[in-house]
Structure 1
Amino acid sequence: MKNVLILGASGSIATLVTRNLIEDSRVRLTLLVRNPDHLADDIRYDSRVTIVVADVVKDTAHLTAAMQGQDLVYANLYGANLKQQAQAVVSAMTTAKVTRIIWISANGIYNEIPGRYGQWNAQMLGSTLTAYAAGAKIIENSRLQYTLVRPAWFSDKDLVSYELTQKGQPFKGTEVSRQSVASYLSALILDPSQAINQSIGISEPHTDGSKPSFY
Structure 2
Amino acid sequence: MADILILGANGQIAQLSENIFLDSTGDNMKLYLRHADRLRDRASQYEDRIELIDGDTTDVDKLVGSMRDIDMVYANLAGDNLKEQAESIVKAMHASDKTRLVWISTIGIYDEVPGKFGEWNNKTLADYLPNYAAGAKVLEDSDLDYTIIRPAYLTNKDEVDYEVTQKGEPFKGTEVSRKSIAQIVVDIAQDPSKFSKASIGVNKPNTDGDKPSWV
- Which TM class, normalised by the smaller chain length? over 0.9
Partner of 1:127, secondary structure, is coil
Contact 1:4 1:72 in 2 (8 A): yes
Matched to 1:90, the amino acid is V
Contact 1:165 1:201 in 2 (8 A): yes
Cα distance in 2 for partners of 1:9, 1:44 equals: 15
- Distance apart, 1:43 and its partner CA: 4.8
Give per-residue Cα distances to partners, 1:20-70, cap 9 Å, x unaligned.
Answer: 00245531110100012333833564212001100011x221111001121
Cα distance in 2 for partners of 1:183, 1:72 equals: 15
Cα distance in 2 for partners of 1:169, 1:8 equals: 29
**CA 1:40–1:133: 2 relative to 1, 3 Å:** farther
Cα distance in 2 for partners of 1:178, 1:115 equals: 24
- Distance apart, 1:17 and its partner CA: 0.3
Contact 1:36 1:44 in 2 (8 A): no
Cα distance in 1 for partners of 2:197, 2:85 equals: 19
Q: Which residue of 2 aligns with 1:54?
A: 55
List runs of 5+ in structure 2 lacking aligned partners: none
Q: Which residue of 1 aligns with 2:133?
A: 133
Contact 1:79 1:128 in 2 (8 A): no
Contact 1:80 1:131 in 2 (8 A): yes
Q: Which residue of 1 aligns with 2:200?
A: 200
**CA 1:135–1:44: 2 relative to 1, 3 Å:** farther
Q: Which residue of 1 aligns with 2:153?
A: 153
Cα distance in 2 for partners of 1:162, 1:149 equals: 12
- Distance apart, 1:166 and its partner CA: 0.4
- Distance apart, 1:111 and its partner CA: 0.2
1:28 counterpart = 2:20: no
Matched to 1:201, the amino acid is G
Contact 2:40 2:52 in 1 (8 A): no
TM-score (norm 1): 0.95
Matched to 1:64, the amino acid is V
Give per-residue Cα distances to partners, 1:158-215, cap 9 Å, x unaligned.
Answer: 2211010000100000110111111122111111111111111000111111111111
Give the alignment of 1:1-215 within 5 angstroms: 1-24=1-24, 26-39=26-39, 41-43=41-43, 45-47=45-47, 48-57=49-58, 59-215=59-215
Matched to 1:172, the amino acid is K
Partner of 2:128, secondary structure, is helix
**CA 1:145–1:160: 2 relative to 1, 3 Å:** same
Q: Would you identify which runs of 4 or more consecutive aligned residues in structure 1 move more than 4 Å? A: none
